[in-house]
Structure 1
């Protein structure tokens, strides 16, 4: 997620400048449900050395490189829901095959299979699904994982002040958590839902012989793309422009209501308002006018200030410098 040397070199983390805290929930022989619940509560209000809770120090993301077994097991679901309510992004490893878990359809582990959890599977450097990465659908009949990230031979810090390569969905998940840190840096107001949408909509869809359509229960919505995700919340992914048409011909003329001003003065702007209605759609409203001794028509596009595309109020203003004697004509 955040790894680098103290001088900023050797940046192995996606977000090496992000701040990082941790809560110990496991011992060398594992962890209990009570330990994990206590750790989850600590995340909601991190405690200082004297045991005082600090909810104002709640983190932006919680990375969960742990999980249980497949199936419906909701013991930790209220905790994940509480994290989301607090604005914490809940990243969870999809889980790995073991001697007792062969993988395949429906194998994705709890809590990553919860609807509220953002589940991460693993791919290799060819964007092929890792053979150990557990698959959906979830116990809630949803596509899982949500996305995949590199998880095979990932260079990481290891105990003893060294570096080594590790593989697993528990290695892919921190890459997603680091990307979320970049997103929150780009826009700190993003909600958990908006963060999820940014990751999903910017992911590169992936398919193979088993998963022929995207999204799917192997790769989810695809492999994450940190650059595209951050770009989507800073500059957008693009724009859509056009018209939605209705079959058939529009044979009815639009109708309008307009009250002309009682008087006008040279050099004073004239605000105008018109109510326009059409049975299909009002595409635009244009004002044409000519003033003084001029014979050429000037045009201004009116702005819709109320109503909708079928029945709306449009307003426009003739600039004062264009209002001149002896006459003003408009239509």
Structure 2
């Protein structure tokens, strides 16, 4: 069925398709970090019919129809008919994918990720397997995956459930609920093993195989950092646990007093406990407050006492995080890195140098 939609394009080239019918529900897919975006989400359902204003904001009317094969899978797996959609066409990068919110009236049913990229198919399958493993371990407050597969015309479809409602809130501060979730991961999935047996080590190995993607100066910094990490771990067994790897406000929400966390695409089973804290703090500082590496480092200095409650050596833990996140993006994007990813990598390397100076 054709629906009337509003096409929203931001300055970074990201595109959302919002249904004019039940737009308030559809906008729950839209997770802005800027003040302008937050205002847009709040007021758009009331002013979208003002065409001159929409034109000035770079929005336009379009007709959109869901792919019939995807629509059939969604209705069958969620046991619903006449479902509705809002669409995010994805962040421009090597792993760009379409994300679709599935809803009916004011009831949000779940989400669907769609791509034709076979590499992403492997990532979707990994996420399906990881979610199943986490559920087996007793981890709650995460989605279930009712379907992961291909359509006849080559689309790769990943479905996940949600508990999100119109009353759900997105918290932009690292608080008690986020820490309780990470504590649950540690308790439910923690296991002692050697560093060289962990997924954390495997990420470093993949970076070493792609070190040609770094500049000469970056290779030197990374070599020093990796040597420091391997010396830190030594040959003693350590506790490792599940790691989300993209633990940010835009991948979680709070509802009825509980935190629900999703998008485990890059999650792993054996990483240092609580390492996700650094991703939350660093990425919100970059994307939501546009802080420099020096400013982020100074904020971490101010949190040192707090961080010591979770890490025996907070600065080594932060270095481990910075090496890991850099490795994942360098290996993931390869020679197809965008300028936005290069800016992130530059900040992470600047932070590595500051942290290494602190560790000396």
Asked whether the two chains share a fold, i.e. TM above 0.5, the reply is: no
TM-score scaled by length of structure 1 = 0.25
Tell which structure's C-alpha radius of gyration is larger: 1
TM-score scaled by length of structure 2 = 0.23
